[in-house]
Amino acid sequence: MIQMKEFTFQYDTGKKPALKNIDLEIHDGDFVGIIGNSGAGKSTLTYAINGIVPHYYPGDFYGSVLVDGMDTVDTAPEQLAVKVGSVFQDVDAQMVATYVEDELLFGMENFGVPKDEIEARLTEALQKTGIPDLRFREIDSLSGGQKQKVAVAAIIALRPDIIVLDEPTGELDPESSDQIFQMLKFLNETYGTTIIVVEQKVGLLCGYAKRLVLLEQGEIILEGPVREVLKNADRMEEIGIHVPRVVSLYKELVQRDLFRGEAPIGLEEAETMVREVLS
Ligand SMILES: Nc1ncnc2c1ncn2[C@@H]1O[C@H](COP(=O)(O)OP(=O)(O)OP(=O)(O)O)[C@@H](O)[C@H]1O
Ligand SMILES: [Mg+2]
C-alpha cells in the first residue's frame, strides 16, 4: 500500500510547491489513473512514489510518503526500485543498454531474477508489449514509440508489486496505446500488480483504471472511482481536461431527457447506452 499524508514538496529550484497537502492511499491491486494539466504535479507524484523525490531531486519535503510501510525519505531508491518499477516520461533517460535484449536482461540480472526464469520472462515481456521482433535491435535506431514499449517491457519483466508509468503512450498511436493498457490490465488481474499511470488520453484511461486522481496546481481536486470522478465532467472541462467523448454524449442525452442511467465507461457501456436510447 502507498500512503501519502499531508505531503507537500517544493523542488529546491522551484518557486512554489509542486505538490501541496496530498492525502492519498493506494491499495494493493489498485489501478489508478493520474490526470491533470501540464505542470499540475503528475510526474512529481510518481517521483514521490519511486523515491526520485527527494533522493535525486532534493527539496522541502513535508508530511510523509510510505510505500509498503517504508518511509521513502529513509529508504534508498535502489531498495524502493525492487517494489516499484518505473517507466519515466523521458524514456531516453531511462535506457541503459545499447540493444533491446540487453535492456531487459540488465534489469533482470540486477534484480536477481533466477537464471532459469530469465528467458521465459524476456519472451513474455516482449510478446505482451508487441515487440518480439525488436529483440536484437539497437535502441538508438528505434522510434520514440518503440522505445516506450521497450521501457515498459523492461519493467514488466521484473514483475514488481507496483508499477508507476508516466505517460507511457505519449508517442504511441491509438492501437499501440490500447495494447499497452491491455497489458497493464493483464498484470493487474493476473499478478495483482498495483498500477499507477499518468495518462493524457482520459478516454482510454477510463476504460481501464479503477480510480482517478485529478491534480490541479499541485493539489488533488478530484479523487475516487472512475465513475464518481466522471460525474464532475463539467468541472473537469472547465479546467481544460478533455473528458471522454462518451461522457459528453451521455451528458447530452441526460440533458435532453433521453437517458437516465449511469455515465458509461468504455466502449461497451457506451454501446449499451446508445442501444437503450435508440430502442
Ligand atoms: N526537476 C525540477 N526542478 C524544479 N521544478 C520542477 C522540476 N520538475 C518539475 N518542476 C515543477 O514542479 C511543478 C510540477 O511539475 P510536474 O513535472 O510534476 O508536472 P506534470 O503534471 O508532470 O506536467 P507535464 O504534464 O508537463 O508532464 C511545475 O511547476 C514544474 O515546473
Ligand atoms: Mg509530467
The predicted pLDDT at position 263 comes to 86
Taking the C-alpha atoms of 65, 70, 76 and 82 in order, what is their torsion angle to the nearest 10 degrees? Answer: -110
The predicted pLDDT at position 251 comes to 87
Pocket of ligand 1 (CB under 6 A): 11, 13-14, 18, 36, 38-44, 57, 89
Q: Quote the domain boundaries for residue 249.
A: 244-279
What is the sign of the dihedral through the CA atoms of 230, 232, 233 and 235?
negative
What is the reported pTM? 0.94
Ligand 1 atom with the smallest distance to the CA of 45 is: 18
Q: Are residues 162 and 278 in the same domain?
A: no
The predicted pLDDT at position 266 comes to 80
| Residues, CB within 5 angstroms of ligand 2 (ion) | 42-43, 89
Nearest to 26 by CA among 217, 229, 223: 223
The predicted pLDDT at position 51 comes to 96
Ligand 1 atom with the smallest distance to the CA of 36 is: 21
* Domain CATH number, residue 219: 3.40.50.300
Q: What is the mean pLDDT of each run of 10 residues along the chain (279 residues)?
A: 98 97 98 98 98 96 98 95 94 94 95 95 96 97 94 95 96 92 94 97 94 98 95 92 89 91 86 91
The predicted pLDDT at position 279 comes to 87
The predicted pLDDT at position 95 comes to 94
Tell me if 196 is assigned to some domain. Answer: yes
Q: How far apart are CA 32 and CA 205, in angstroms?
A: 9
The predicted pLDDT at position 72 comes to 97
C-alpha cell at 163: 508499477
Q: Which residue has the cell 470522478?
A: 229
The predicted pLDDT at position 268 comes to 86
Tell me if 110 is assigned to some domain. Answer: no
Q: Are residues 202 and 255 in the same domain?
A: no
Tell me if 261 is assigned to some domain. Answer: yes
Query: How many domains does the chain divide into?
Result: 2
